[in-house]
Amino acid sequence: MAEYPAHLVREHQLFDGRTVTLRPIRLEDAALVREFLNELSGESKYMRFQKWVHAPSDKLIHFLTDIDYDRHMALVCTARHGDREEIVGEARYVANPDGRTCELGIVIADAWHKSGIAGLLMEALIRAARERGVQSIEGLVLAHNTEMLRFVRALGFDTQPVTDDRTTMRIVRKF
């Protein structure tokens, strides 16, 4: 069992005064992740999986929460409501077989768009990736997801067309 990288846990205050926690995902987060995905709008879910996802399957939840913190790293952003914790965003990478490059994915709860947490998650994820010697981080973004494309370009990503597929853009950031 991989060790939980507790040093990646951080608290942040957002510009609107709210406080959130960024931390690596845990196996015990399954219920929270399920809740998070269920609450996403169809649009947000489609952007993340690029297909229609109903209720997330057990297999998907397991894939998302049972990670080794090395080849597969995931950070969640959580907010507290009293003693209840809620996931409001998550970002992850999965290493490609070559071990040097990895694929990135990020999704933010609809009500938390433009709150600044996407930037925090991406910075933290990129830091974690560099720590593990990843040389470049890549992703696939729907071509009409202009908000995401603009966001990653501001973070220093290149956006490139995918051969034979105009509906998708490849985003790449080399370290």
Partner 1 sequence: MKKIWLDSYPQGVPSEIDARAYSSLNQLLERSCVRFRDRTAISNMGAPITYGELDGLSRDFAAYLQKALGLQQRDRVAIMLPNLLQYPVALFGALRAGMTVVNVNPLYTASELEYQLADSGVVAIIVLENFARTLEQALAKTRVRHVVTTQVGDLFPPVRRALVNFAVKHVKRLVPAWRIPGATDFREALALGARQVLGGASVGSGDIAFLQYTGGTTGRAKGAILTHGNMVANVEQVAAWAGGTLEEGAETVITALPLYHVFALTANLLVFVKLGGHNALITNPRDITGFVAELRKTRFTAITGVNTLFNALLNAAGFEEVAASSRGTLKLAVAGGMAVQRAVAERWQKATGVPLVEGYGLTEASPNVCANRFDLGKFTGKLGLPLPSTEVAILDEDGREVALGEIGEIAVRGPQVMRGYWNAPEETANAFTADGWLKTGDLGRMDERGYVEFSERKKDVIVVSGFKAYPAEIEDVVMLHPGVKDAGAVGVSDERSGEAVALFVVRKDPALTAEAVLEHCAKHLTGYKLPRRIEFREQLPKSAIGKILRRQLREEAARPHG
Contacts with partner 1 by CB under 8 A lie at: 41-43, 45-46, 48-52, 54, 57, 60, 63, 92-96, 102-105, 110, 139-140, 142-144, 146-147, 149-150, 159, 162, 164-169
Handedness of CA 6, 59, 95, 116 (dihedral sign): negative
Q: Between residues 19 and 41, which has the closer beta carbon with respect to partner 1?
A: 41
Q: How far is the CB of 8 from partner 1 (least distance, A)?
A: 19
Nearer of residues 80 and 153 to partner 1, judged by Cβ: 153
CB of 45 to partner 1, least distance (A): 8
Which are the contacts of 63, defined by CB distance < 8 A and separation ≥ 6?
Answer: none
Q: How far apart are CA 10 and CA 154, in angstroms?
A: 23
Return d(Cα 175, Cα 161) in angstroms, integer: 21
Identify which of residues 12 and 60 has a Cβ nearer to partner 1 in the complex: 60
- Supply the minimum distance, in Å, between the C-beta of residue 166 and partner 1: 5
Nearest distance in Å: CB 157, partner 1: 12
In 28-111, where does DSSP find H-type helix?
30-39, 42-49, 58-65
* Nearest of 89, 78, 109, 174 to residue 135 by alpha carbon: 174
